[in-house]
C-alpha cells in the first residue's frame, strides 16, 4: 500500500539519547563466514550443467585475433569442449577451469594490429610508463582553468619568494584478491541469469540489455560478495568478463563460468591515472603562502572510461587539488589534458588518492621554504574554519602532541612525523604518520587518523574502514606501481607487483569526530591523507624532498639522517 509522503515539519525525530543501535559499535554479521572460507563469491557459484572457461587476451590492447596455429590440437585436448575467437581475446571452454586455463595459455595466436577505424584504445608496441611519466612532467602550457581565486599572476609577481616544483604520481592496478569472473546462464524462457562481482547492478543490467537485445525484465543480475574491489567492478570497456561469458554461453548452449587468471587480470585491469603537477607557490616576507598554482598534466578516470575529453573538465582528474579549504588568497588549479594509451578507471578515493599526495607534500615544501612548521602553518591557513581546526587539534591530541622531529625513539631509532589533510566525499580527515628508516626502507610505525564524517551509524565499521584504507594508502606510497615496457605490463602477478606485506603494516589509531555536518562517506575518505603524511615525515627525517611515489624508488641511508 502506498502512503503519502508526510510534511517534513510534521515529523518528530527520535532524540539521539534514545538510540539503541546508532552510534554504538556492532560487529559485521558476515565476518565469521569470510574468515572461515564459508562466504560465497562469484568464483564459488555453481549451477547444474555448467562448463568452465578461460581466456588469453592480446598482449597489447587493441590487437585483434588473426590465425590460431594450433587450434585443432588444443580442441582435441582431453576435457576441452571448444575454442572461441572473441574481441581482442581467444577463449577455451572445458569441463574444468584448470583445463580451460592450460588450454587457453597454450593457444598460439597470431595477433594483428587494428585498422584505422577501431574505437578501442590501441597500445603502441613502444609504450613505456617511465617515458610517459617524463612526457607529462615536461608538458607545457597554461592548461584549462578548474578553480581560480584572486589574481595568481600578480600575486606570484609580487611574492617575496616563489617556489616551483613538479610532483608526480604513478599508475596503479586495483590488485584486488578476487579476480574478475562471470557465470552466464540462458534459461528456456529466453531470460538470462548473470552472477558477477559488481558495484552497480542497475548499470550492468542496462549494459547487458544493449549487448543482448533482451529486455531489462529478462536479465537477472546476481551480486555475490565482492572479494575486494576498490573501484574495479564498474562498467569498463575491455576490462570486464561478462560480455565474453555471455557470448560463450550462447555459443555452447550451456551455462558457462568464466574466470580470468591473475595474469589476465593484470593485463586488462584499468589503471589509476598518472599525473605530473607543476606547482608554483608564492610566499610573503613572513614565509606564509599568498599564492598557489597547480597545473596537472593528466587524463581523468571519467575521461578515460569515456575514451575522450568531455566538454567540461573531468572533476575526478583534479579533486584533491581543487576544493582545498586552506585560506590562500590567490590560487589557480588547471588541467592539461593528455590522453593515455592505457585504459583508466576509478581507484579507491578516485582523484584524491593521488592529488592529495601531490598538494599536501608541496604544501610542506612551501612550509620549509618559508621557515614555517607544517602543523602550525595548516592551523594558520584554517583559522576561522572551526571544523577543520578542531580536526587538526584532535589528531594532535590523539598522537600525544605534535612532535615533528627528527627525534630518537625509546628503541634508539631516529624518527620523524608528518602531517596531511584531505576532504574527499564530504568527509574531513587529518593524519599524522611516524616513520624511521630500517635497512634502507621506510618503516611506518604509527598512523594517527582523526576523521569527521559529520555523523556516523556504526563506529566499528568506521574504524574497520580506516584500517583498511590505511593499509591501501601505505601500499600505494611505499610499494605499488604499474610499470609498462614495450606496451605490456611488467607485473602480471603479485611477484612483480608487490603490495604491502603484513610486517610493514603500521599501528593505526582512530578518533571519530561527529561535527554534525552533513553525513559524508567512509569507504574512500580515510585513504588520501595517508601517503602525504608518510612522505612528509620521510622528507623531514632524511632531508630528501619526496616529490613522487612509490618511495621504493628512493634510496635512504640511515647513516645520513638529520
d(CA 261, CA 259): 6
Are residue 450 and residue 307 in the same domain, yes or no? Answer: yes
Are residue 343 and residue 375 in the same domain, yes or no? Answer: yes
- pLDDT band for 116, please (50, 70, 90 cuts): confident
d(CA 253, CA 533): 55
Are residue 458 and residue 539 in the same domain, yes or no? Answer: yes
Q: How far is CA 315 from the centre of its chain?
A: 15
Predicted confidence (pLDDT) at residue 559 exceeds the cutoff of 70 = no
d(CA 120, CA 193): 28
Residue closest to 52 by CA, chosen among 220, 236, 241: 241
What is residue 120's predicted lDDT score, i.e. its pLDDT?
77
What is residue 24's predicted lDDT score, i.e. its pLDDT?
93
The CA radius of gyration of the chain, in Å to the nearest whole number, is 26
Q: For 289, how many CA atoms within 13 A lie in the half-sphere containing its CB?
A: 31
Last residue of a domain, one of 210, 225, 259: 259
Last residue of a domain, one of 202, 237, 259: 259
Sign of the torsion angle spanned by Cα atoms 23, 24, 25, 29: negative
Are residue 305 and residue 414 in the same domain, yes or no? Answer: yes
- Mean pLDDT of the residues in the chain: 96
Residue closest to 451 by CA, chosen among 475, 471, 425, 472: 425
Predicted confidence (pLDDT) at residue 407 exceeds the cutoff of 90 = yes
d(CA 543, CA 162): 20
d(CA 390, CA 514): 11
Q: Are strands 488-489 and 507-512 parallel, antiparallel or unpaired?
A: unpaired
CATH classification at residue 64: 3.30.365.10
- pLDDT band for 61, please (50, 70, 90 cuts): very high
Residue 32 in domain: no
Residue with cell 604520481: 169
User: C-alpha distances in angstroms, 534 versus 221, 270, 360, 428, 530?
Assistant: 41, 26, 11, 18, 6
In angstroms, how far is the first alpha carbon of the chain from the final one?
Answer: 71
Are residue 293 and residue 373 in the same domain, yes or no? Answer: yes
d(CA 222, CA 198): 9
DSSP state of 225: B
What is the DSSP track for 273-314? PPEEEEEEEEE-TTS-EEEEEEEEEE--HHHHHHTS--SS--
Residue 254 in domain: yes
Higher-pLDDT residue of 251, 310: 251
Are residue 70 and residue 161 in the same domain, yes or no? Answer: no
Residue-range definition of the domain harbouring residue 410 = 133-171+272-553
Residue 558 in domain: no
Predicted confidence (pLDDT) at residue 237 exceeds the cutoff of 90 = no
Last residue of a domain, one of 224, 259, 294: 259
Are residue 297 and residue 406 in the same domain, yes or no? Answer: yes
Are residue 314 and residue 356 in the same domain, yes or no? Answer: yes
DSSP state of 548: B
Residue 35 in domain: no
Residue 316 in domain: yes
Are residue 144 and residue 234 in the same domain, yes or no? Answer: no
What is the DSSP track for 64-116? EEEEETTHHHHHTSTTEEEEEEETTEEEEEESSHHHHHHHHHH--EEEEPPPT
Higher-pLDDT residue of 119, 178: 178
Are residue 369 and residue 454 in the same domain, yes or no? Answer: yes
What is residue 557's predicted lDDT score, i.e. its pLDDT?
80
Task: Report the pLDDT averaged over residues 503-527.
Answer: 97
Predicted confidence (pLDDT) at residue 558 exceeds the cutoff of 70 = no
Tell me the per-residue pLDDT of 443-489, one tens digit each, with 9 for 90 and over: 999 999 999 999 999 999 999 999 999 999 999 999 999 999 999 99
- pLDDT band for 1, please (50, 70, 90 cuts): low
Task: Report the pLDDT averaged over residues 381-400.
Answer: 97
What is residue 561's predicted lDDT score, i.e. its pLDDT?
64
Residue 561 in domain: no
Q: Are 436 and 415 in contact (CB under 8 A)?
A: yes
Are residue 450 and residue 383 in the same domain, yes or no? Answer: yes
Cell numbers for 528: 588520501
Predicted confidence (pLDDT) at residue 118 exceeds the cutoff of 80 = no
- pLDDT band for 562, please (50, 70, 90 cuts): low
What is residue 13's predicted lDDT score, i.e. its pLDDT?
87
Residue closest to 291 by CA, chosen among 301, 282, 299: 282
Residue closest to 167 by CA, chosen among 540, 552, 534, 532: 532
Q: How many domains does the chain have?
A: 2
Are residue 405 and residue 509 in the same domain, yes or no? Answer: yes
Residue 120 in domain: no
Cis amide leading into 213 (omega within 30): no
Residue 477 in domain: yes
Amino acid at each position: 500500500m502506498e502512503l503519502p509522503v508526510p510534511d517534513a515539519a510534521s515529523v518528530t525525530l527520535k532524540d539521539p539519547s534514545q538510540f539503541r543501535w546508532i552510534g554504538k559499535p556492532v560487529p559485521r554479521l558476515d565476518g565469521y563466514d569470510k574468515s572461515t572460507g564459508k562466504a560465497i563469491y562469484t568464483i564459488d557459484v555453481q549451477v547444474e550443467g555448467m562448463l568452465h572457461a578461460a581466456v588469453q587476451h592480446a598482449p597489447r590492447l587493441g590487437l585483434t585475433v588473426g590465425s590460431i596455429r594450433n587450434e585443432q590440437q588444443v580442441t582435441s585436448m582431453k576435457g576441452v569442449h571448444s575454442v572461441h575467437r572473441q574481441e581482442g581475446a581467444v577463449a577455451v571452454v572445458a569441463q574444468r577451469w584448470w583445463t580451460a586455463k592450460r588450454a587457453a595459455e597454450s593457444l598460439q595466436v597470431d595477433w594483428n594490429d587494428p585498422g584505422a577505424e577501431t574505437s578501442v584504445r590501441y597500445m603502441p608496441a613502444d609504450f613505456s610508463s617511465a617515458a610517459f611519466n617524463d612526457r607529462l612532467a615536461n608538458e607545457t602550457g597554461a592548461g584549462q582553468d578548474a578553480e581560480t581565486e584572486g589574481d595568481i599572476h600578480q600575486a606570484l609577481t609580487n611574492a617575496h619568494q616563489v617556489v616551483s616544483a613538479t610532483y608526480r604520481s604513478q599508475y596503479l592496478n586495483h590488485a584486488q584478491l578476487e579476480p574478475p569472473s562471470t557465470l552466464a546462464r540462458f534459461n528456456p524462457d529466453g531470460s538470462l541469469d548473470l552472477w558477477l562481482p559488481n558495484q552497480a547492478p542497475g548499470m550492468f543490467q542496462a549494459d547487458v540489455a544493449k549487448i543482448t537485445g533482451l529486455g531489462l525484465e529478462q536479465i537477472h543480475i546476481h551480486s555475490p560478495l565482492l572479494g575486494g574491489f576498490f573501484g574495479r567492478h564498474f562498467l569498463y570497456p575491455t576490462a570486464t568478463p561478462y560480455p565474453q561469458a555471455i557470448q560463450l554461453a550462447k555459443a555452447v548452449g550451456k551455462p558457462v563460468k568464466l574466470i580470468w587468471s591473475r595474469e589476465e587480470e593484470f593485463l586488462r585491469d584499468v589503471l589509476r591515472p598518472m599525473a605530473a603537477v607543476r606547482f608554483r607557490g608564492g610566499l610573503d616576507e613572513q614565509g606564509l603562502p599568498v599564492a598557489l598554482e597547480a597545473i596537472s598534466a593528466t587524463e581523468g578516470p571519467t575521461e578515460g572510461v569515456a575514451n575522450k575529453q568531455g566538454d567540461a573538465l573531468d572533476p575526478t582528474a583534479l579533486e584533491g587539488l581543487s576544493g582545498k579549504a586552506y585560506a590562500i588568497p590567490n590560487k589557480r588549479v588547471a588541467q592539461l589534458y593528455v590522453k593515455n594509451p592505457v585504459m583508466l578507471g576509478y581507484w579507491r578515493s578516485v582523484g584524491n588518492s593521488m592529488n592529495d599526495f601531490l598538494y599536501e607534500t608541496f604544501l610542506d615544501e612551501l612550509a620549509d621554504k618559508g621557515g614555517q612548521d607544517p602543523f602550525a602553518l595548516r592551523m594558520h591557513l584554517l583559522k576561522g574554519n572551526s571544523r577543520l581546526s578542531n580536526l587538526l587539534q584532535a589528531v594532535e591530541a590523539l598522537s600525544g602532541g605534535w612532535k615533528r622531529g627528527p627525534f630518537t625513539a625509546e628503541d634508539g631509532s631516529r624518527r620523524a612525523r608528518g602531517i596531511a589533510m584531505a576532504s574527499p566525499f564530504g568527509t574531513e580527515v587529518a593524519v599524522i604518520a611516524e616513520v624511521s628508516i630500517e635497512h634502507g626502507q621506510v618503516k611506518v610505525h604509527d598512523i594517527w587518523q582523526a576523521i569527521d564524517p559529520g555523523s556516523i551509524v556504526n563506529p566499528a565499521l568506521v574504524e574497520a574502514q580506516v584500517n583498511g584504507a590505511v593499509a591501501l594508502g601505505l601500499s600505494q606510497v611505499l610499494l605499488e606501481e604499474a610499470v609498462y615496457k614495450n606496451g605490456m605490463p611488467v607485473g602480471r602477478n603479485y611477484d612483480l607487483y608487490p603490495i604491502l606485506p603484513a610486517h610493514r603494516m603500521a599501528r593505526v589509531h582512530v578518533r571519530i569526530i561527529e561535527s554534525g555536518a552533513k553525513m559524508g562517506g567512509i569507504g574512500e575518505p580515510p585513504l588520501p591523507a595517508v601517503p602525504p603524511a608518510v612522505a612528509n615525515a620521510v622528507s623531514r627525517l632524511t632531508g630528501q624532498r619526496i616529490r613522487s611515489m612509490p618511495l621504493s624508488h628512493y634510496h635512504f641511508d640511515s647513516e645520513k639522517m638529520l
